[in-house]
Structure 1
Amino acid sequence: MKRTIHLIAAARPNFMKIAPLYHALSKESWADVAIVHTGQHYDLNMSDAFFQDLRLPEPHIHLGAGSGSHAEQTARVMIAYEQVVMEKRPDMVVVVGDVNSTIACTLAATKVVYSLSDFDSVTGLNRPVVAHLEAGLRSFDRSMPEEVNRLATDVLADLLWTPSPDGDEHLQHEGVEAHKIVRVGNIMIDSLEMMRDKIETDGTYEKHDLEKGNYAVITLHRPANVDSPESLKSLCDMINNVAEKLPIVFPIHPRTRKHLETSGLIETISNNPAVKLLEPQNYISFMNLVFNCRIAITDSGGLQEETSYLGIPCLTVRPNTERPITITQGTNQLCKLEEVEDKTNEILAGKAGKGSAPDLWDGNTASRVVDSIRKTFKI
């Protein structure tokens, strides 16, 4: 008996997380896998080349939710996906990460009730099994919409696939039943390894006349760092100070560029010959910059994981992280904008710890997820 499995994706990072799982499930004779694109985000890097790099087909189902407030996005995805679930009747819905589409599809799938004739004697459900890939991450900061999405999704999901031991612990402390928690590792490392050859041969760092192991990559876009004139001034001061020690390459997020231009501060860094301002990069080009850098300075989530796996020092300009294992075991450090220069000096002086990749961050997460699905359906 074939099992129909929907893989939900809303934006570029989601597609990167589902790609290894799509390929692994496509090899299984019992799995009928479909990619569902919610359309929550319009991403300029979602080109045909992006899907070719991931070896993904065009999404099988488009919801076309579009942008809007958090409530509007969530509602649109819920309404659209409920109709899809009732029509297609998938056996499993896999949601990833922590975007609005994650909780929206979880709500839609867990509230749907199939007819009595569709009752599944194996799972004991007459609705899809909902599985959350990248479960258990916590920043403990409910001012972040992503944290609210994570909490709500993990309460409702039937299967919780965690990337690291801290994810297991968070779920256990929240009262999640032990049989629902399965540690599978970090799916983004599967994507990185899947594209390693293309990343290593891409040559982006050479194209920009950068010396291997002798520059910093910066990516900053969170409101706390780029929305106010005060934080923007601190950001520019930090960049110019760090650039006195080693060159900087800065692919600028559209949000950051807009605020720098509006405030009249962009020239304070664009006129610095040690700072290279780039347009947003696709994954392969950006990771080529990361692979060959000395330090990464960021406020994003994924880069904390990738640098820990690669053994590259990372300074995360945030007060907290939902990925604490990158600090306790990896190469990541939390800091404020005004602390980045001193932290950079410590790294360049060899005073920062080397760290190591957490257990199961090995490029084989997708195969462990497939094993978990097989056990769920007793295949």
Structure 2
Amino acid sequence: MKKKILISVGTRPNFIKVTRFKECARNHPNLEIRIVHTGQHYDRLMSSVFFEQFGLQPDYYLTLESRLPSMQMGEITMKIGELLDAWKPDLLVVPGDVNSTLAAALAANKAGVPLAHLESGLRSHDRTMPEEINRILTDEITETYFITEQSGMDNLLLEGTRREQLHFVGNTMIDTLVAFESEIEQSTILEDLGIRQMPYLLMTMHRPSNVDNEAGLIFIRDLLQGATTDFNVVFPMHPRTWKKIDEFNLRSDFEALSRLTITDPLDYFAFQKLIKHTRMILTDSGGIQEESTFRQVPCLTIRDNTERPVTCELGTNELVPRDARTVLSKMTTNMTKKGIIPPLWDGKATERILEIIAA
């Protein structure tokens, strides 16, 4: 009898972490893997286009009635619970730290289904971050921990987790980068934006603390004004950010920057092509810290902390405060920062995970 594995995903960063599971499962005939899309990202560019690019269709798609986070979590928990009761998987796998991660984990706990957590043990030690709460609570009810970096091992051991539950397997997000390298390189985004022959910086900002208030948007404007003095800057903008820019009457300030190119959210291949060829990344993202480290591209993360410290200790990442002058100064000194690729970030993490599950 096959062991039934259900993987729950709900947002772009988490889609990227599970692209190789069905393909790699062909080497494990005793496993049956199904994917449920919880529907947390409802915009096409934020969800379905990713599945189209990877040739990966979810087996189940949840339709959520509400866009309020608390209501969404309740819906996801209820509907995942119904799915667990109907299919009766032997294991639920949840990646990351978003709301749907915790909601699905709670459903597994209530249904008595064993839970495995991808990226377990990561800690920013900042409980004002919703993602930190999601990480901690998910790990509290996890049985099998799949870990991307040494800090995850250290944190879970300090929290009292039994060592035999911990598996240092590497980073499944890197598996996707490795597997789709040729598709990434075939992207025409550099030509489309007219930047193939010119150096550029890449910016991404999406955290509410940076884009949902006037002070954060003024910081971004001031940073861009300084950065575009010397560089072209490409800024794929999150759907809600333009609305906030208009709310605070800042649109004309951004549109006045002639060397700034603002795009809609980009597909995975296009965005990875931009990462691969940029001089430096300015971000507040979690996953981009890892992708830039793998690509050996300097990255300034505009945060006071990170749950991915290996990207600073071994990689090309550095934390900087939300101060435009400080960031602009660091741009000069960090433009040539070198790093190394962390252990087991070799494109084989998914296979290691499946070997453990199949045993």
Q: TM-score, normalised to structure 1's length? A: 0.90
Letter aligned with residue 341 of structure 1: L
Question: 1:92 & 1:201 partners in 2: Cα distance?
Answer: 37
Letter aligned with residue 156 of structure 2: L
- Asked if structure 1 preserves the Cα contact closer than 8 Å seen for 2:46 and 2:265, the reply is no
- Asked if structure 2 preserves the Cα contact closer than 8 Å seen for 1:136 and 1:166, the reply is yes
Partner secondary structure for residue 18 of structure 1: coil
Partner secondary structure for residue 206 of structure 2: coil
Question: 1:65 & 1:140 partners in 2: Cα distance?
Answer: 31
Question: 1:257 & 1:304 partners in 2: Cα distance?
Answer: 24
Letter aligned with residue 95 of structure 2: V
Residue 45 (1) aligns with residue 32 (2):
no
- How far the C-alpha of 1:261 sits from its partner, in A, is 2.0
| Cα distance per residue 1:312-363 (max 9 Å; x no partner) | 0001111111111111111111112322110112134x4xx30111001111
| Aligned counterparts, 1:196-235, within 5 A | 196-211=181-196, 214-235=199-220
In structure 2, the partner of 1:151 is 136
1:341 to 328, 352, 358: 328
Q: Greater CA radius of gyration, 1 or 2?
A: 1
In structure 2, the partner of 1:110 is 109
| Cα distance per residue 1:284-303 (max 9 Å; x no partner) | 11111111100000111110
| Cα distance per residue 1:229-285 (max 9 Å; x no partner) | 222222111101011121111111122211212222222232222111111111111
Question: 1:237 & 1:366 partners in 2: Cα distance?
Answer: 41
Runs of 4+ in 1 over 4 A off after TM superposition: 46-49
| Aligned counterparts, 1:176-255, within 5 A | 176-211=161-196, 214-255=199-240
Question: 1:232 & 1:52 partners in 2: Cα distance?
Answer: 33
- Asked if structure 1 preserves the Cα contact closer than 8 Å seen for 2:11 and 2:47, the reply is no
| Aligned counterparts, 1:1-379, within 5 A | 1-45=1-45, 49-57=49-57, 59-112=58-111, 127-211=112-196, 214-337=199-322, 338=324, 339-348=326-335, 350=336, 353-375=337-359
Letter aligned with residue 208 of structure 2: P
Letter aligned with residue 6 of structure 2: H
- Asked if structure 1 preserves the Cα contact closer than 8 Å seen for 2:15 and 2:50, the reply is no
Letter aligned with residue 344 of structure 2: L
Partner secondary structure for residue 234 of structure 2: strand
Q: 1:9 to 1:105 in 2, by over 3 A?
A: same
Q: Which has the higher contact order (CA 8 A, sep 6+)?
A: 2
Partner secondary structure for residue 64 of structure 2: coil
Q: TM-score, normalised to structure 2's length? A: 0.95
Q: 1:236 to 1:92 in 2, by over 3 A?
A: same
- How far the C-alpha of 1:139 sits from its partner, in A, is 0.8
Aligned residues: 357
Letter aligned with residue 56 of structure 2: L
The runs of 5 or more residues in structure 1 that have no matched partner are 113-126
Letter aligned with residue 346 of structure 1: T
Question: 2:127 & 2:28 partners in 1: Cα distance?
Answer: 39
Which deviates more from structure 2 when the two are superposed, residues 89-98 or residues 331-340?
331-340
Partner secondary structure for residue 56 of structure 1: coil
- Asked if structure 1 preserves the Cα contact closer than 8 Å seen for 2:41 and 2:47, the reply is no
Question: 2:231 & 2:334 partners in 1: Cα distance?
Answer: 12
Which deviates more from structure 2 when the two are superposed, residues 313-322 or residues 16-25?
16-25
| Cα distance per residue 1:200-247 (max 9 Å; x no partner) | 111211221214571100111212222222222221111010111211
Percent identity reads 37
Question: 1:201 & 1:268 partners in 2: Cα distance?
Answer: 34
- Asked if structure 1 preserves the Cα contact closer than 8 Å seen for 2:123 and 2:306, the reply is yes
- How far the C-alpha of 1:49 sits from its partner, in A, is 4.5
- Asked if structure 1 preserves the Cα contact closer than 8 Å seen for 2:237 and 2:263, the reply is yes
The runs of 5 or more residues in structure 2 that have no matched partner are none
- Asked if structure 2 preserves the Cα contact closer than 8 Å seen for 1:218 and 1:251, the reply is yes
Question: 2:184 & 2:157 partners in 1: Cα distance?
Answer: 38
